[in-house]
Structure 1
Amino acid sequence: MTRTPAQRLAGLAHRAARTGLPSDVRHDMAERVLDLLGNSLAAVPTDVATAISATTRSWGGTPQATVIGSAERLPAPSAALVNGTLAHSLDFDDTHLPSILHPTASVLPAALAVAESVGATGRAMLDAATIGTEITCRLGMAGYDPVAKNSIFFDRGLHATSLCGTVGAAVAAGMLYGLDEDQLTSVIGIACSMGSGIIEANRTGGTVKRVHCGWAAHAGVVAADLARNGMTGPATALEGRFGFLTAFCGDNADVTQLTHDLGTRWESQLLFIKPYPCNHFTHAGIDAALRLRALGTDPGSITALTLGVPAPAIRTIGEPHEAKARPQSGYHAAFSGPFTIAAALVGGGGLGLSHTDFTDAAVHSPRRLALAARVRVVEDDQCTRIFPHQFPAVLTAELADGTVLTERVEHNRGGPENPLTHTEITTKFRTNAARTLSRSETDRIATLTGDLPRSADLNGLTAALRRPGHR
């Protein structure tokens, strides 16, 4: 009898839970844990964090798992909700291309919460997170249209990250709960009914998008808990007539992406770690601007800048020009090609740009605004051909003495072809965590995270993430 995609994915998860994954895979996931913890700690002071913490605190329940950057421990589903919201709040989480998913912000908070609640080893948590991330990415690829070069989910107004992330989070949680293969199949079937997220907030505003990964993590833990207690889900939940892909993507979904080369080809190894806290479409332009800066280019001598990008990126980071050249707030600045180019030429911190470059005060800097006004965002044919496997850019600067300088960036910094070093990932973590913790506290967390592949449990790490007196 032919096994369904859900059954085959559950089989992979069950095998990984029993036999473990290679050490290099675990090491890679440990670095993603460090990245996520830094992103989450940086988000602790935000209004969104306050709102989600107050909500979950009012629910009460048995303390099972740590809330990052707080003294609180909450039931595992609630901790996953808070931590997933923190992880995604600043748009600094990792990205899978070409699906344009942010997988670990949903999967890791679920895995961390359940691992702490059951006393799992660091190895088991990393393995579960890897498989959950793999399933999330494969679902995203099943909903990717290679002809249109776009996500079918996004074209329908759906947030693929939260929908696919719910299923991946559920499988990760189910592995840590010790579920068997049939139960893991049910976990997938249950989770397919629980994911949610629309992206209208990207267009007209609102902070709800920041909770999408938290909700996916929460729903994933609940789905696994339901299966653990006897609830079942359909084995055909992914590809069936009324299943996940048909419901969300219609007839254009590619079901083969779910299981092609399963266990030998790892989508989860193709994630991009963001070096800059802004929209990913802006990153190659930032890289190019930083190269110009490294050459000693005087920003005051620049008379015009042309930023060539893939055609689909223009509406996000280039239009309308007036609004992008003079962003309303720090949040809007993170989605502006002109402003990020200006910030890279005159600002900087962390790995080139930091959160201080995207404050409401920074967007009113006369020097940055003057430079941003000189930036024209246009389509570059070569960039369009490469997109969305990379988010490339070409930046041309015209100087007052007639010199023309051009920098083309085809492989984003932080991706598989141009990865961040361990030192750079740690620098990003420390820059983020410094918004909440002391240097000695961040050093301890970095050490404990690096030790996860050898850890008997997560107790040391979770204790280091708690802050006495903070709620």
Structure 2
Amino acid sequence: MQTQEIQDTTLRTLANFVIEERCAAFLETEYLDCKRRLLDSFACGLAAFHQPACVQTRDLAIMHGGTGYSTLLGTHVRTNVEMAAFANGFLVRYLDGADTYPGGGGHPSDCWAGLLALSEHLQLSTEQLFRSAKVAYSVFHNLFVSAQLRNKGVDNAFYVTVGTAAGCAFLLGLDLKQTANAISMAVVPNISLAVARTGSLSTWKAGASANASRNGVFAAQLSAAGIQGPAMPFEGIRGLWDLTGPFKLESFDLGPSSLPRMQRAHMKQFLCDYHSQTPVLAAIQLYEQLNGESIESVQVHTYEFAHNEVASDPEKWAPNNRETADHSMPWIVAGVLISGSFGEHLFSADQLKNPIHRNLANRVVIHEDPHLTKKFPAEAPCRMSLKTYSGRYLDIEVSLPLGHPCHPMSDDQIKSKFITLTQSVIGDSAFQIFDNIWNLSPSEPVNQLISQIYLPH
């Protein structure tokens, strides 16, 4: 776009918000919440460090990333900004344990990889990184709740690209026109298809998010270099609205009594899809009541979105890879009822072939309950009942998972999750790394934050 006036009202609203955030107050509570979200993302990424697909993307970044200033998480290797964003984004998303906006919003934590890579490259401070994360989460969430693009077949990775581009425009200090160009170049070439998360899932489930973060960084860099995007990416002829229909953004000013957009992202206790969080809790409690009895059948009542997302495809009852299994309510429920706990053991190659696990999964029936559907997304309810071969019936209902905004994780619980996920990878240094990052001052450079996370190879 060549004129100073931005005629696309949606684009103008987004670009104005980014510019206004440069002068906005950044509260201590916002700084702390960013630390919580970043540490949670680091935990999920480090836990996935040795997963084959994550090794492949890291090797790709090392091979083709050239030289640069952006660190590959868990190493002392530096590469260019785009490849660091992709490889680190793949790590964070792979085990599906970071925060989410339920109901089709996807994972705003996917923006961190791009923001980290660029802020380290620019030698910026931790506070500048965190302020950019506030921008990214806000743009991401506003687009999600306003546009609801999942219903149009557009994947939630789209929100990652636009949110990351907005956050990176903030980091680069772009002016209004440049910021609008960055967002335009994030929107136009990055309409990601929701097929990435249907049926039998692939490693692109993580790749879509990593690619989105990388593309958001690149869009901002293009604008900084003087490249211009289409003037009407949302509202113009053949723009986004022609595909999705029109939508109007919410006001970015939520008011002092409203929950900030970052805090509206639900954190996860368990590393699997969000809609299986309460079923896991229900299954753990039922297991404790079984006293070793064998299960004849399991009935799970859930809300419509959960049923559609993780319990409607036949592949969910016989997953052939981790990507499908961690998005399968029947598989997860069966595994927890067998072992009494949730963990990576549910998704190992051997477990996916386990006849006992497969047999019980086939006896898990998932029902969409209209009464529970009305409660979502204010709650994530699950009612579960089972019958043993001795004729005993057990049932339970769980409404809120740990990490829900109405049932948030405490700082001690966030630390416990970090230690649990990373100790097997980085040893007892996990405690020191958590404390070091938790105690970082706002003025500390970003490279000080990320360089201390190193895995001996």
Q: TM-score, normalised by structure 1?
A: 0.86
Q: Deviations over 1:271-330 (max 9, x none)?
A: 111211222222221121223345x43252544321011234335433466x54554344
What is the aligned counterpart of 2:10 among 5, 10, 20? Answer: 5
Report the CA distance between 1:165 and its aligned residue.
0.9
The residue that corresponds to 1:463 in the other structure is 451
Structure 2 runs not aligned, ≥5 long: none
Q: Which amino acid aligns with 1:222?
A: F
Q: Deviations over 1:349-369 (max 9, x none)?
A: xxx522223212233445544
What is the aligned counterpart of 1:298 among 276, 288, 291? Answer: 291
Report the CA distance between 1:135 and its aligned residue.
0.4
The alpha-carbon distance between structure 1 residues 17 and 381, as it changes in their structure 2 partners (threshold 3 A), is same
- Structure 1 distance, partners of 2:447, 2:93, is 24
The alpha-carbon distance between structure 1 residues 135 and 453, as it changes in their structure 2 partners (threshold 3 A), is farther
The alpha-carbon distance between structure 1 residues 292 and 185, as it changes in their structure 2 partners (threshold 3 A), is same
Report the CA distance between 1:343 and its aligned residue.
2.5
User: Is residue 278 from structure 1 mapped to residue 278 from structure 2 by the alignment?
Assistant: no
Report the CA distance between 1:34 and its aligned residue.
0.8
User: Is residue 166 from structure 1 mapped to residue 183 from structure 2 by the alignment?
Assistant: no
Report the CA distance between 1:15 and its aligned residue.
3.0
The residue that corresponds to 1:80 in the other structure is 85
The residue that corresponds to 2:337 in the other structure is 345
Q: Which amino acid aligns with 1:306?
A: Q
- Structure 2 distance, partners of 1:31, 1:235, is 37
The alpha-carbon distance between structure 1 residues 170 and 331, as it changes in their structure 2 partners (threshold 3 A), is closer
Aligned identity (percent) is 24
- Structure 1 distance, partners of 2:14, 2:195, is 31
The residue that corresponds to 2:181 in the other structure is 186
The residue that corresponds to 1:149 in the other structure is none
Q: Which amino acid aligns with 2:142?
A: R
The residue that corresponds to 1:147 in the other structure is none
Is the 1:66–1:79 contact (alpha carbons within 8 Å) kept by the matching residues of 2?
yes
Aligned ranges for residues 38-437 of structure 1 at < 5 Å?
A: 38-105=43-110, 107-144=111-148, 153-160=149-156, 162-201=157-196, 202-234=198-230, 236-244=232-240, 246-249=241-244, 251=245, 253-257=246-250, 259=251, 261=253, 266-294=260-288, 296-319=289-312, 324-347=316-339, 353-365=342-354, 368-369=357-358, 371-399=360-388, 402-437=391-426
Moved more, 384-393 or 41-50: 384-393
- Structure 2 distance, partners of 1:277, 1:169, is 23
Is the 1:305–1:397 contact (alpha carbons within 8 Å) kept by the matching residues of 2?
yes
When the two structures are aligned, how many residues end up with a matched partner? 449
CA RMSD of aligned residues (A): 2.7
Report the CA distance between 1:412 and its aligned residue.
3.0
The alpha-carbon distance between structure 1 residues 19 and 318, as it changes in their structure 2 partners (threshold 3 A), is closer
The residue that corresponds to 1:148 in the other structure is none
Is the 1:136–1:168 contact (alpha carbons within 8 Å) kept by the matching residues of 2?
yes
The residue that corresponds to 1:26 in the other structure is 31
Structure 1 runs not aligned, ≥5 long: 145-152
- Structure 1 distance, partners of 2:66, 2:6, is 42
The alpha-carbon distance between structure 1 residues 241 and 389, as it changes in their structure 2 partners (threshold 3 A), is farther
User: Is residue 444 from structure 1 mapped to residue 432 from structure 2 by the alignment?
Assistant: yes
Is the 2:138–2:252 contact (alpha carbons within 8 Å) kept by the matching residues of 1?
no
Q: Which amino acid aligns with 1:270?
A: R
Is the 1:394–1:407 contact (alpha carbons within 8 Å) kept by the matching residues of 2?
yes
